[in-house]
Amino acid sequence: MPAARRPAAAKAEPTKKKQEIFFDQDRETKGTFRYAEAVENGQRGIMGTIWIRKDVAEKLNCVDSVKITIEADDEK
């Protein structure tokens, strides 16, 4: 999702139990896509880069961008 379409709350300020992190496709290999974390100028990233297999990215239709949500596991 391009930065202009991301919600303003997507900055690197975690909420109590949930954090959304946005990634844009950075590079492509034979079998994977590499995504770089989208951070605003001067902000520090949470995860950096991630790699996702092409077949999974294409199945989920997330070739250009990815959103990962981190939540606390309340069941423990």
Mean pLDDT rounded to a whole number for the chain: 82
Tell me the per-residue pLDDT of 1-19, one tens digit each, with 9 for 90 and over.
455 555 554 555 555 678 8
What residues does each domain of the chain span? Answer: 17-71
Cβ–Cβ under 8 Å, residues 64 and 25:
yes
Output the pTM of the full model: 0.71
Q: How confident is the model at residue 21 (pLDDT cuts 50, 70, 90)?
A: very high
Note whether 63 and 23 are within 8 A (CB). no
- Quote helix, strand, coil % in the chain, to nearest 5: 15, 40, 45
